[in-house]
Amino acid sequence: MKKQFPYAIAVILAVGAVLAVAITRMNNSAPMDMGEHALSESKRKAGIARGPHGGWLFAKDTFRMEVAIFERGVPPQFRVYPTDAAGNPINLNDVGLVIELHRLDRVDTVGFHPSGDYLVGDLTVVEPHSFDMILSAQWKGNDYEWQHSQIEARTVLSDEAIKNAGIQIKTAGPEKIKNVLHLTGEIGLNEEKVVHIVPRLDALVKQVFKDLGDRVREGEILAVLESRELADAKINYLAVGKQSQLATDDLKREILIYENTKIMLDILERELDLETIYNRLKGLVIGKSREQLLPAYARLKLSQSIFQREKGLFEKGISSESEYLLALENYKSAEAKYIALREKIAYDGQWAIRQKKRTDEMEQLNVQTANQKLLSLGLKRRGIEALKNEQAHVFTQYELRSSLSGLVIKKHITTGEAVKKDDDIFLLADLSDVWVNIAIPAKDIKNVHLGIKIIIKSELLGIQSAGRLTYLDSIIDPMTRTVTGRVVIPNPKGEWRPGTFVTADLILDERTVPIAIAREAVQSLRDWSVVFVKYGDTFEARPLELGASDASHWEVLNGLAEGEEYVTKNSFAVKAEIEKSGAVHAH
């Protein structure tokens, strides 16, 4: 035992010496952990120096820069510590920096801004931290560039290795994820596309064009009726139309007279001589305003002239004061009457326009009322507009037209028959789509909602169609303990016949997601759920944020882009290769 003790001491000393050398080398070149971020095996062989913050050191001339990925308590981010050659911090605002991360599928460009004693990147360094870095910096007018590779969670497989491992590849893209409830239902008429045709007025049937089972188009004539009530409505429409036109013309004339009257008032305001005024007003339609105002203006000008003459004579002592005052009184009286007449004519013109406008509006309202009555009787706007060219002997004719395209499924009308305005003479149905009424068990109602997709199948007819739940009854049938649901399905060929029993597959939670992957493709690596993407002969673990799933697919919320190739079958073989190579990011 004593002989072995010196030997053990020698071994311990030898190991200590080796460790001392290793520690010295680590201080100079070995990577240090930053936020527990350890490099892959391939990276430890790179030999890049590490700084006091555990980051990579890049130096040139008098400029040094430590680049670290920090991820303790925050999403992974770049933190950069610039210094001079002596290791002294430099002004962060003097440093410009951009880092390009060249990944398998893209290039991430990271900009930087000062934060405390370091520059912080403006992008999260997403996993995996596997990329080629190009660092471009500027300081004191000098440009610096470095390149560095950081590889993890990757492996390379040859075509032969892929084949031998039975690895299968698929392209990521949209998929439907769904949950199905199987029920039964019955085809029925779409009651929103069933129309009851009634005459809308008492009439005599002159001719019938359609029979039971005939197909009709919207607007097609079903029958021709004759009605005195319709003739009265048409005549009234034409009468009020003519009256409205007269009222409109009368309003236009009144507006013209008023505008010309304003012209006359403006001319008189300039105090021109009568001959000039008459010449300027020649050809204008003014009406009684001309007859009233021009004589008043002439009297005003005459009294003004007499006043001016008497004033001059009075001032010279030739005329008496009484004659002067009489002339003044006559002048002021004529002036007052003229001004009052001007004001009255202006007001009367505006009032006349308002009266004519009110009459015109009332007549237009009468036209609209008569028009609405004809529309309510089934006439179309084009037919109403054509009434002005229609002869009196056809005013009684009424064309009964189809209001939709479909089939005649009921008919109660014959030629020569007298029909009442509320008789149900035709029943039309559009079978271009039909209803499917489904009995939904009460226990399943909690999973059913309006808008869910439903696949309708008929094994007897060998057809299927799809639609969405448009109606869900609020009451549970006490006998069957079911709730009626309804779906509308297209029926362009008329294959779905009302009364047919069908199966209904309710897709309780179907939705198309932008990106989904096969369930078997997902593996666990570290604390990630990953798939392995393929670029050439390189495979890389891609951490995923997963969403909803069904029996065959997982929805991908983040981590994988549409169009990327990933491993589906035997993905565990790729995982084993990555773990075997040691290229795993360990936290």
Range of the domain at 45: 31-152
- Asked whether residue 113 is assigned to any structural domain, the reply reads yes
- Asked whether residue 40 is assigned to any structural domain, the reply reads yes
Please choose, from the candidates 162, 174, 178, the residue with its C-alpha nearest in 3D space to the C-alpha of residue 568: 162
Residue predicted with more confidence, 376 or 515: 515
> Among 343-357, 371-385, 423-437, which is the least confidently predicted range?
371-385
- Note whether 359 and 266 are same-domain residues: yes
Average pLDDT over residues 331-349: 90
- Asked whether residue 495 is assigned to any structural domain, the reply reads no
- Note whether 248 and 357 are same-domain residues: yes
- Asked whether residue 443 is assigned to any structural domain, the reply reads no
pLDDT one-digit tens code per residue, 469-497: 999 999 999 999 999 999 999 999 989 99
Q: Can you give the CATH number for the domain in which 167 is found?
A: 2.40.420.20
Q: Is the pLDDT of residue 94 over 70?
A: yes
Given this model, what pLDDT does residue 230 score?
83
Given this model, what pLDDT does residue 25 score?
38
> Among 115-119, 175-179, 184-188, which is the least confidently predicted range?
175-179
Average pLDDT over residues 40-50: 56
Sheet strands side by side (includes 397-401) = 397-401, 221-226, 203-208, 418-419
Average pLDDT over residues 446-472: 92
- Asked whether residue 89 is assigned to any structural domain, the reply reads yes
Residue predicted with more confidence, 385 or 203: 203
- Asked whether residue 454 is assigned to any structural domain, the reply reads no
User: How many Å apart are CA 525 and CA 585, to the nearest integer?
Assistant: 9
Q: Is the pLDDT of residue 235 over 90?
A: no
pLDDT-based confidence at 584, cuts 50/70/90? low
Burial of 42 (0-12, 13-18, 19+ CB in 10 A): middle
pLDDT one-digit tens code per residue, 152-171: 889 999 999 999 999 999 99
- Note whether 35 and 18 are same-domain residues: no
Residue predicted with more confidence, 36 or 119: 119
- Note whether 207 and 332 are same-domain residues: no
> Among 46-50, 440-444, 464-468, which is the least confidently predicted range?
46-50
pLDDT one-digit tens code per residue, 271-307: 888 888 888 888 888 888 888 888 988 898 899 889 9
Given this model, what pLDDT does residue 8 score?
42
- Note whether 207 and 103 are same-domain residues: no
- Note whether 337 and 305 are same-domain residues: yes
pLDDT-based confidence at 390, cuts 50/70/90? low
Given this model, what pLDDT does residue 214 score?
93
pLDDT-based confidence at 180, cuts 50/70/90? confident
- Asked whether residue 571 is assigned to any structural domain, the reply reads yes
Please choose, from the candidates 434, 379, 381, the residue with its C-alpha nearest in 3D space to the C-alpha of residue 406: 434
SS3 content of the chain, % helix, strand, coil (to 5): 35, 35, 30
- Note whether 208 and 338 are same-domain residues: no
Given this model, what pLDDT does residue 139 score?
95
Output the average pLDDT for the chain: 86
pLDDT-based confidence at 231, cuts 50/70/90? confident
How many CB atoms lie under 10 A from the CB of residue 51?
19
User: How many Å apart are CA 454 and CA 451, to the nearest integer?
Assistant: 9
Q: Can you give the CATH number for the domain in which 141 is found?
A: 2.60.40.3340
Q: Is the pLDDT of residue 29 over 60?
A: no
pLDDT-based confidence at 373, cuts 50/70/90? confident
Instruction: Kindly state the percentage of the chain with pLDDT values over 70.
Output: 90
- For residue 78, report the phi and psi dihedrals to the nearest 5 degrees: -80, 135
User: How many Å apart are CA 444 and CA 94, to the nearest integer?
Assistant: 67
Domain boundary among 83, 117, 152: 152
pLDDT one-digit tens code per residue, 511-559: 889 999 999 999 998 888 999 999 999 999 999 999 988 778 999 999 9
- Note whether 369 and 258 are same-domain residues: yes
Given this model, what pLDDT does residue 393 score?
53
Average pLDDT over residues 128-144: 94
Burial of 212 (0-12, 13-18, 19+ CB in 10 A): exposed
Q: Is the pLDDT of residue 385 over 90?
A: no
Average pLDDT over residues 216-239: 88
- Asked whether residue 576 is assigned to any structural domain, the reply reads yes
pTM score: 0.43
- Note whether 228 and 290 are same-domain residues: no
Count structural domains, the chain. Answer: 5
E strand or H helix that includes residue 186: strand 180-188
- Note whether 121 and 239 are same-domain residues: no
As given in the structure block, the two tokens for residue 330 are 């006559």
- Note whether 421 and 551 are same-domain residues: no
- Note whether 9 and 103 are same-domain residues: no
